[in-house]
Amino acid sequence: MTYPITQTVDQVDIYHGVTIADPFRWLEDPDSSETKAWVESQNKVTFGYLQSIPKRDTLQARLTELWNYEKYGMPSKRGMRYFYSKNDGLQNQNVLYKIETLESQPVVLLDPNTLSTDGTVALSGISISDDGSKLAYGLSKSGSDWQEWRIRDVMTGKDLDDRIEWVKFSSASWTNDNMGFFYSRYDKPDEKTKLEAVNYFQKLYYHRVGTPQSEDVLIYDRPDQKEWGFSGDVTEDGRYLVITVWKGSDRKNLIFYKDLSQSNSSVVELITEWNADYTVVESDNESFWVKTDLDAPRGRVVAIDLKQPLQSNWKTVIAQTPETLGNVGLLNNQFVVAYLKDAHSQIKIYNLNGSLVQDVQLPGLGTVGGFAGKRSDTETFFSYTSFTEPNTIYRYNVATDESSVFRKPDVKYNAGDYETKQIFYPSKDGTQVPMFITYKKGLKLDGTNPTLLYAYGGFNVSLTPFFSVSNLAWLEMGGVYAIANLRGGGEYGQAWHEAGMKLKKQNVFDDFIAAAEWLISENYTSSSKLAIEGGSNGGLLVGACMTQRPELFGAALPAVGVMDMLRFHKFTIGWAWQGEYGDVEKSEAEFKALYAYSPLHNLKAGVHYPATMVTTADHDDRVVPAHSFKFAAALQKAHKGDNPVLIRIATKAGHGAGKPTAKVIEEAADKWAFLSKVLGMK
């Protein structure tokens, strides 16, 4: 391989007395002519390599065939109508429909595919008024986190004149009079640096339909707290605006509220200590039901009397269980509660006094979502999926505990050809870590199977079974697919999460490396046949493990990864991750820990690194592409050997959300073609 020559600069920084060079600092400017030329030259090498692989076109054709099936979203009811999304198969973006009854002919309410010729304008959020008459919806362009919100009349299907700009990390919550909604936004950014500049000082506003954004009412902001963000949600009875105050990615937050039944009421600070995660489930007269992990690392539900809000007066309604508490909702005047047991879903129903009513029977060991609705509703919907079963929508009667299939997709494959098993393996320190392994039935454990190991390991995110057309193609190729539930995730509650944070982050990498070693020792695969993959925080995971144990892997696929652990806080929302990773400037101990595993800073000259394809996108304003740019440049300089080390840079794309189907299929075809070649697959 002949790689583009990447120029270096004499940039050095000093952290706690340690001098560190940053020779590729210039790649942090995505708009410079030098960076654009570098991107073009790298893509020329990468796509030239990928297009020379004979299997690539065949793989893309098969992926396109598999992808071409109807996909349904979860129906929700507002007023007298139902709303749900659907994709006919190969549409770049899902289409939002309205129906009068579940047996009626659906009518298109919003088709994002008409908003751009290449599918790069995506629907990034929707909120329907309580009476079902108005749709507030957010649009994102080219994968950016920035959103513009608009309002559509549901009856006519036409947009109103309202435009809400500079929204990020926010939904919209309607008042019960259907006349307006609450949302959060930032100040207008500099147009030239809006994809890189840091995001501080979020503000909570109320927008009244039919008025310009300049007249929106500021509900709450904190000029003295630049890192605080605000999420406003109206309770079902319409009486309270619940303000969830967040600070970065830390799973600890505050709860404030405003009584909407009183004109000019002030904001009341209900929970004022950053000591736990709090989510208001719903209001009940003058009290709140709140899900929290305070004194319960796997979660519980408490009742807080707003007249006697001191913690000593809180009452536990649903106590902590051995399983990890997930979403909590109200239906049929009962709690519908989701749990995780060893990373797969359970659903339980409780009375309002906390007594268990029943377990909801599910189709199998998989992942369940849904169960949304009003407190008095008996009808709801839920989705079920697994590694071998596509997302199926069920209609469920809470009162009778009866479920029926509402929409089941027809994917052109035989699910019975594959199987999934869950195993537990010991990590370096003896911790038992779960892992799902999916493969064709009849697999021979002879150490020759191409295997892809995927994980995330951070931010309290739980990896549960999911169906993927892309992964199905990998299984058809004879590949084994493994997902490890590493520490740092939320599978076993807050203690599991904290065991993979800050100074304990190395536990996450040890868990991943141990998963690879287990797959090899059990003869599923061998190092030359083992690929690793992860995105975002998972991209960091792959980068750290391939630099710590380069001989253990045959291929690496770090996607949109956080690769420069000394400067991640300098861009967009990166400062918010200091609660997860640490602060290199304020804490010498955290600096040392970050520097010790930072993928960019742990590449060593003359090392044989595994075949690598870094992937990123030019509009990624979550994890800015400079992370991947600098890592790829440093990897190409340090690497010794014949293994290709490439970077694939998507254009008019972002961190992943809203990516058009066509781009998703192209990227999957490139990924499988790359692995088929470097792993020597037949």
Q: What is the pLDDT of residues 568-610, one digit of tens each?
A: 999 998 999 999 999 999 999 999 999 999 999 999 999 999 9
Contact 352, 331 (CB under 8 A): no
Percent of the chain with pLDDT over 70: 100
| Amino acid in position 539 | G
Residue 318 has pLDDT above 90, yes or no: yes
Looking at residue 1, what is its pLDDT?
83
| Amino acid in position 53 | I
Give the pLDDT band of residue 626 (cuts 50, 70, 90).
very high
Contact 609, 632 (CB under 8 A): no
What digits encode the pLDDT tens for the residues 372-395?
Answer: 999 999 999 999 999 999 999 999
Query: In whole numbers, what is the pLDDT of the chain averaged over residues?
Result: 96
Looking at residue 324, what is its pLDDT?
97
User: Quick one: average pLDDT of 195-201?
Assistant: 88
Residue 35 burial (CB count, 10 A): 18
Residue 348 has pLDDT above 90, yes or no: yes
Looking at residue 454, what is its pLDDT?
98
Catalytic status, residue 207: no
Looking at residue 263, what is its pLDDT?
87
Give the pLDDT band of residue 162 (cuts 50, 70, 90).
very high
| Tokens representing residue 203 in the block | 């503000």
Looking at residue 142, what is its pLDDT?
85
* CA-CA-CA-CA dihedral for 422, 426, 430, 431, to nearest 10: -30
What are the phi and psi torsion angles at 122 (to 5°)? -120, 150
Residue 654 has pLDDT above 80, yes or no: no
Looking at residue 196, what is its pLDDT?
81
Residues 6+ apart with CB under 8 A from 431: 487, 499, 507, 511
Long-range contacts of 317-322 (CB under 8 A, 24+ apart): 317/289, 317/350, 317/352, 317/353, 317/354, 318/350, 318/354, 319/354, 320/296, 322/298
Residue 655 has pLDDT above 80, yes or no: no
What digits encode the pLDDT tens for the residues 299-315?
Answer: 999 999 999 999 999 99
Looking at residue 253, what is its pLDDT?
97
Catalytic status, residue 619: no
Looking at residue 393, what is its pLDDT?
96
Residue 7 burial (CB count, 10 A): 12
Percent of the chain with pLDDT over 90: 92
Q: Which candidate in 569, 619, 639, 655 is catalytic?
A: 655
Alpha carbon 359 to its chain centroid, in Å, reads 28
| Amino acid in position 412 | K
Residue 619 has pLDDT above 80, yes or no: no
Q: Which candidate in 127, 129, 536, 628 is catalytic?
A: 536
Helices (H) and strands (E) in the chain, counts: 10, 39
Looking at residue 314, what is its pLDDT?
98
What digits encode the pLDDT tens for the residues 208-263?
Answer: 999 999 999 999 999 999 999 999 999 999 999 999 999 988 889 999 999 999 98
Give the pLDDT band of residue 128 (cuts 50, 70, 90).
very high
User: Quick one: average pLDDT of 651-656?
Assistant: 72
User: Quick one: average pLDDT of 79-106?
Assistant: 94
Residues 6+ apart with CB under 8 A from 550: 607, 608, 609, 610
Looking at residue 143, what is its pLDDT?
82
Give the pLDDT band of residue 181 (cuts 50, 70, 90).
very high
